[in-house]
Amino acid sequence: MSKPHIVVIGSGIIGIATAYYLAKNHGQNRITLVDRGQPMAFTSAQSGENYRNWWPHPTMVAFTNRSIDLLEEIARDSGNRINMSRRGYALATRKAEIDELVEQLHDGLGDSAEHLLRFRGGATANSYAAFDNPDWECAPIGVDIVQHAGLIKERFPSFDPDVRAVVHIRRGGDISGQQLGMYMLDYLKEAGLTRITGEVNNIDYCDGFRIEIASDKDNSSLAADRIVNAAGPFADRIAAMLGVVLPVRHTFQQKIAFEDAKGAIPRALPFSIDLDDQLVDWTDEDREMLLEEPNLSWLAEKMPGAIHCRPDGGDGGKWVKLGWAYNENPAVATWEPQLDEAFPDIVLRGAARLNPALKAYYGRLPRAMHHYGGWYTMTEENWPLIGPMGPDGAFMNCAHSGFGTMVACAAGELCAATIAKAPLPDIAGQLSMLRYADKELMLRLHKANKGIL
């Protein structure tokens, strides 16, 4: 009996990973990858290239832990082609009372919290392992909660002296998302993958699927037994072609990267997040001007936390990345980037609150600075959608808002297993549309996911 023809719509890291695990785990050799552009060239190209197992719910902790397991497997098998490193995530706050954050950690880790949470201070300060070594195989797991002023100053010398607590998520770090995608594509090429460059304009369903594709050269159609909607910010459009409404929205988020010629950020600094709300560090004159402009006054008012900073390019590099996903305005996703020319100054001044040495770049950002952005496609609860989608034979792997690269392996594995009708993990239903029937779970998620990146 011949294998079914499976068409994956979208060649970002999620679509590629789905195809990879279809071939690797289930022997599928009739896979076609369709995308308007080149692989990894749109949303995946804007990835922060970070990973962590920090979530306030055990389902997402289990999901990301599985994905990290698979990333480690690829790192070992490829001689670490994906440049996996592990210095963790450092969550900083000026609040002395962090019970709510600790409670979230307990919720996410479940029964494992008892031995994975470590409070560092006083007699336990000296046992807090350093993070000078980026080797992921040598790094500890669990979470170090540091509320010892001297230890914070010693280990995080670039941080604002007013920081009172640092929650150090140890199973987190950096990878090269592009190399991950290329590694999978190399495997798929050997497995017989077909790639088509063109935009899907319509899908008809009648005893299979007929996909209409438009390209610069011509229009064509493609027959498929199974389809996978991995179209990122255009996943709702693909779903609508089959009469399916996805509960997603899109926001455009931005980042900057630049060469840190002044050495403001230590190269060994973990991926660092300032959890606290703040007033952006404008001059008094600038703040008054902003307050006078109705469309800009919000920039002079309290801004949300979760601004992040990390070194980029490894220990021998000189670049840093800054990001701040403060945009909460949903919009229709477009192929053209929606860059705000004011963003670099905003994010720099915001990031300088946690790392004050960045103030040296006020008004002096390098000309070679890279300002970029991509669409966050998310459900209200900020969990992905993986599983059946509408008609028999249609599947989805989407809504990976801001965490697509880190969960790509587990998402691809789960979607592939669903298509192949293989045994699924216990969490599979909660990562599909089935979760919306669980009112208690949904109520908990809406409360718990506030503030999680």
Is the pTM value of this prediction over 0.75? yes
Q: If you average pLDDT over every residue of the chain, what do you get?
A: 94
- Does residue 123 have a pLDDT over 80? no
CA distance 446 to 17: 28
Q: Which residue has the higher pLDDT, 73 or 43?
A: 73
pLDDT at 66 over 80: yes
**Alpha carbon distance 17, 232 (integer Å):** 13
Q: Is the pLDDT of residue 232 over 60?
A: yes
CA Rg, the chain, in Å?
22
Q: Which residue has the higher pLDDT, 68 or 121?
A: 68
- The pLDDT of residue 451 is 46
Return the pLDDT at 217.
Answer: 82
Which DSSP string corresponds to 26-90? H----EEEEESS-TT-SGGGG---EEE---SSHHHHHHHHHHHHHHHHHHHHTTSTT--B---EE
149: pLDDT strictly greater than 90: yes
**Three-state secondary-structure class, residue 431:** helix
Reference 51, options 33, 31, 72; nearest CA is: 72
Does residue 78 sit in helix, strand or coil?
Answer: coil
Residue 447 has pLDDT above 80, yes or no: no
Instruction: Give the DSSP H/E element, type plus range, for residue 376.
Output: strand 370-378
Grouping H, G, I as helix, E, B as strand and the rest as coil, residue 250 is strand
Rounded distance between C-alpha atoms, residue 273 and residue 402, angstroms: 14
Q: Residue 433 in 3-state DSSP?
A: helix
CA distance 207 to 326: 45
312: DSSP letter: E
pLDDT of residue 124: 76
Supply 234's token pair.
């255009």
Q: Which of 200-204, 310-314, 409-413 has the lowest mean pLDDT?
A: 310-314
Q: What is the DSSP letter of 5?
A: P
Sheet with 199-205: list strands edge to edge.
199-205, 209-214, 219-224
> E strands within 142-248?
143-146, 165-169, 172-174, 194-197, 199-205, 209-214, 219-224, 226-229
Can you tell me the mean pLDDT for 225-251? Answer: 97
How high is the pLDDT of residue 216? 83
Do 144 and 168 form a contact (C-beta atoms < 8 A)? Answer: yes
pLDDT at 284 over 70: yes
Local structure of residue 175 (DSSP, 8 states): -
CA distances (Å), 150 to each of 147, 155, 236, in order? 9, 9, 50
Between CA 182 and CA 122 the distance in angstroms is 47
Q: Binning pLDDT at 50, 70 and 90, where does residue 35 land?
A: very high
Which tokens go with 341?
């020319």
For residue 207, pLDDT beyond 90: no
**Is residue 1 over pLDDT 60?**
no
Q: What mean pLDDT is predicted for residues 373-379?
A: 96
% the chain with pLDDT above 90: 89
Q: What are phi and psi of 191, to 5 degrees?
A: -85, -5
* pLDDT for residue 448: 66
Domains and CATH numbers, the chain: 6-49+177-247+382-448 (3.50.50.60), 89-172+250-378 (3.30.9.10)
Q: What is the pLDDT confidence band of residue 449, given thresholds at 50, 70 and 90?
A: low
State residue 130's pLDDT score: 87
Cite the DSSP H helix spans in 78-231.
Answer: 99-109, 113-116, 149-155, 177-190
Confidence band, pLDDT 50/70/90 cuts, at residue 453:
very low
Could you give the CA distance from residue 8 to residue 45 in angstroms, rounded to a whole number?
Answer: 19
**pLDDT value of residue 218:** 85
- Model confidence at 158: pLDDT above 90: yes
Q: Is 145 helix (H, G, I), strand (E, B) or coil?
A: strand
pLDDT of residue 442: 93
* Residue 315 DSSP class: T
Task: Please tell me the distance from the alpha carbon of residue 34 to that of residue 290, in angstroms, as a whole number.
Answer: 45
Q: Are 271 and 86 in contact (CB under 8 A)?
A: no
Write down the residue that tokens 């669990």 correspond to: 142
Query: What's the whole-number mean pLDDT along residues 363-368?
Result: 96
